[in-house]
Amino acid sequence: MASPRLPILEDKHPQQPSLFQPANLLREARRQRGLPDAAIPAVCLLDPDGDIVRYLRRVGLGQPATAWACYHTQMWKVAWRGRELGIVACAVGAPFAVLVAEQVFASGGQLLLSITSAGQLAPGLELPCFVRIERALRDEGTSYHYLPPEPFAGPLPAVAAAMATLDGREGLQVRAGAVWTTDAPYRETEAAVAARRAEGLVAVEMEAAALYAFSQARQYPVACFAHVTNAMAQTAGDFEKGEADGALAALDLAAAAAAAWYSQNP
Q: Do 132 and 163 meet the contact criterion of CB atoms below 8 Å apart?
A: yes
Whether residue 160 lies inside any domain: the answer is: yes
Residue 1, pLDDT score = 67
Q: Average pLDDT, stretch 55-79? A: 97
218 in any annotated domain: yes
| Structural domain range at position 225 | 92-264
Q: What is the CATH number for 160?
A: 3.40.50.1580
**Domain total for the chain?**
1
Cβ-based burial of 229 (10 A; exposed 0-12, middle 13-18, buried ≥19): buried
Predicted structure pTM score: 0.96
Indicate the angle between helix axes 94-106 and 208-218, nearest 10 degrees. Answer: 30
CA dist., res. 192 & res. 66, Å (int): 43
pLDDT for the residue numbered 219: 98
Domain presence at residue 209: yes
Judge whether 174 lies within some domain. Answer: yes
Per-residue model confidence (pLDDT) at position 126: 87
Domain presence at residue 107: yes
In a domain, 184, yes or no: yes
Q: How far apart are CA 187 and CA 227, in angstroms?
A: 20
High-pLDDT (> 90) share of the chain, %: 87
* Residue 117 lies inside a defined structural domain of this protein: yes
Residue 236 scores a pLDDT above 80: no
pLDDT tens digits for 132-183? 999 999 999 999 999 999 999 999 999 999 999 999 999 998 999 999 999 9
Q: Is residue 26 in a domain?
A: no
For residues 41-53, average pLDDT: 97
